[in-house]
């Protein structure tokens, strides 16, 4: 039995050495991501680095650093082992997109960049259209002209959204008609059709992922799930007393962002480009999210939540629940994290964060009343 166990160990070593050699012999695959500093960008970067990719990201210039979600992945570019590289560019600047596509020569381009807040899109409609709709067109055009000049193969992923279905009732799948209800959603519909058009007109390997809401501890703090879990952490620790929200009756199909980035990658690994819905097929109202999140720490949300009409939207999307049969069957994709686990993951993370804030507040380093 001693001999057979040493043989087993020996076989494992050989297997891992063979995998290492295979990776060294295969050409390094290169990905270019717009929106790398966002929630999905950070999870996709982790995922692609683990698969052995070199990952390039387009970041926009801001007066403060906007790379917090990537800090744990950052290796100084002077170090030869750095496989994530960041470049200044913008979806509103066609020349920057073309320059980086030509310089980096990516195998896969993921267009995740967006002014992605639906409520804000009513306040900044033409900027939203410029980034979300025309930005996608600019990046598609950069990829198309790069392919035309170099003859290279480049695959393109477009971050589409369930918001495109808007007023059309659930369940929503790839055949459901779009009825967008915000400048953001209308812009995503345009980006969707630009992508389809580049596939049909130029034979581009271009896919639309129609992703339903996906959240995580890295979710932007002004989206409703994160706004709630941040407040739960702070209220539990005694840093906050009230949470102001808008429409609590809207229903969403909430999944975990870490699961969804795998679906993006899978779409680009297929023989043919296509469009796919990615969803959990389970939906809950904002009120149910409140119940689950406050309930997780033993509190009743009704004691803390107040309605502020400024969070109501001029036109609302009432009910989204996807049907992801196509992704399940064609991509072999399914979500690993369910609603309850997602809420727990986000509340626990924000509880830890609130504890750290409390230490800083108690020692006078931050103002405890500054509510996020
Ligand atoms: P985030 O808002 O977290 O990230 C958006 C990213 O886009 C950030 O990196 C942001 O940069 C970047 N960006 C904004 N404006 C520009 C610009 N002008 N030029 C270049 N980059 C820009 O979004 P998510 O990660 O949640 O979503 C990723 C994509 O998926 C988005 O397109 C979103 O619309 C779409 N989507 C998201 C869903 C979700 O539930 N999360 C569901 C369906 C679709 P900075 O960090 O500087 O702000
Ligand atoms: P959504 O996400 O609009 O679905 O877009 P968000 O979390 O902003 O809103 C979900 C629902 O909650 C209601 N709501 C509030 N929303 C916010 N942000 N703040 C509040 O205080 C509040 N109170 C109630 C909203 O009215 C809405 O009904 C997200 C984004 O990530 C998009 O980029 C993406 O395309 C879609 O998901 C799928």
- Cα 188 to chain center, whole Å? 15
The pLDDT of residue 320 is: 98
The predicted pLDDT at position 107 comes to 98
Residue 205 carries which DSSP code?
E
Provide the CATH topology of domain 2-211: Rossmann fold (3.40.50)
163 as an active site residue: the answer is yes
Longest distance between any two alpha carbons in the chain, whole Å: 73
The response to whether residue 213 sits with its C-beta less than 6 Å from ligand 2 reads: yes
Q: Catalytic site residue 161?
A: yes
Write out residues in the chain with pLDDT < 50, as ranges.
none
The confidence score (pLDDT) of residue 40 equals 98
Go through 184-197 and write b for each residue having 16 or more CB atoms within 10 A of its CB, e for each that does not. Answer: bbbbbbbbbebbbe
Ligand 1 center to residue 159 CA distance, Å? 9
Handedness of CA 39, 372, 348, 297 (dihedral sign): negative
Contact (Cβ atoms closer than 8 angstroms) between residue 185 and residue 166? yes
Q: What is the ipTM of this complex?
A: 0.99
The answer to whether 289 and 295 have CB atoms below 8 angstroms apart is no
- Ligand 2 centre distance from Cα of residue 250 (Å): 9
Atom of ligand 1 nearest to the CA of 210: 43
| 327/180 Cα distance (integer angstroms) | 23
**Residue 5: HSE in the Cβ half-sphere, 13 Å Cα cutoff:** 2
pLDDT at 21: 62
- Is 184 annotated as catalytic? yes
Cα 261 to middle of ligand 2, angstroms: 20
Q: Mind listing the pLDDT tens digit for each residue in 64-78?
A: 999 999 999 999 888
Query: What residues contact 121, with CB distance under 8 A and at least 6 apart?
Result: 115, 128, 182, 183, 184, 185, 187
- As given in the structure block, the two tokens for residue 51 are 């698969």
* Cβ contacts of 183 within 8 Å, gap of 6 or more: 121, 122, 125, 128, 129
Q: What are phi and psi of 326, to 5 degrees?
A: -65, -45
d(CA 38, CA 114): 9
Residue 14 has a pLDDT of 74
**Which ligand sits closest to the CA of 128?**
1
Spatial separation of the C-alpha atoms in residues 254 and 334, rounded to whole Å: 14
Q: Which ligand gives the minimal distance to the CA of 209?
A: 1
């Amino acid at each position: 039995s001693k001999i057979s166990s040493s043989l087993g160990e020996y076989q494992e070593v050989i297997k891992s050495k063979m995998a290492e050699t295979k990776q060294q012999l295969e050409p390094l695959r290169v990905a270019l991501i717009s929106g790398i500093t966002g929630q999905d960008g950070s999870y996709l970067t982790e995922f692609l680095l683990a698969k052995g990719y070199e990952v390039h990201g387009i970041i926009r210039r801001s007066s403060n650093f906007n790379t917090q979600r990537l800090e744990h992945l950052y290796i100084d570019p002077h170090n030869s082992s750095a496989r994530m590289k960041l470049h200044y560019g913008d979806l509103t600047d066609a020349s920057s997109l073309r320059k980086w596509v030509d310089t980096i020569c990516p195998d896969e381009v993921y267009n995740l960049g967006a002014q992605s807040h639906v409520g804000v899109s009513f306040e900044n409609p033409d900027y939203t259209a410029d980034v979300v709709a025309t930005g996608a067109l600019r990046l598609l055009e950069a990829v198309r002209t790069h392919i035309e000049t170099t003859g290279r193969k480049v695959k393109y992923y477009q971050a589409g959204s369930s918001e495109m279905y808007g007023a059309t009732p659930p369940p929503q799948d790839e055949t459901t008609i779009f009825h967008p209800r915000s400048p953001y959603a209308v812009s995503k519909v345009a980006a969707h059709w630009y992508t389809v058009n580049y596939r049909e007109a130029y034979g581009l390997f271009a896919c639309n992922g129609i992703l339903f809401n996906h959240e995580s501890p890295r979710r932007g703090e002004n989206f409703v799930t994160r706004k709630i879990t941040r407040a739960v952490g702070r209220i539990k620790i005694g840093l906050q007393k009230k949470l102001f929200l808008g429409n609590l009756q809207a229903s969403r199909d909430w999944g975990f962002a870490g699961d969804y980035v795998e679906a993006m990658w899978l779409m680009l690994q297929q023989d043919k480009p296509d469009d796919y819905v990615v969803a959990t097929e389970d939906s809950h109202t904002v009120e149910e999210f409140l119940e689950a999140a406050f309930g997780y720490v033993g509190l009743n949300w009704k004691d803390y939540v107040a309605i502020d009409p400024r969070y109501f939207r001029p036109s609302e999307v009432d009910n989204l629940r996807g049907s992801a049969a196509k992704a399940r069957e064609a991509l072999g994709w399914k979500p690993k994290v369910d609603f309850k686990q997602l809420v727990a993951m986000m509340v626990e993370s924000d509880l830890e964060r609130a504890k750290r804030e409390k230490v800083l507040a108690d020692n006078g380093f931050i103002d405890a009343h500054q509510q996020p």
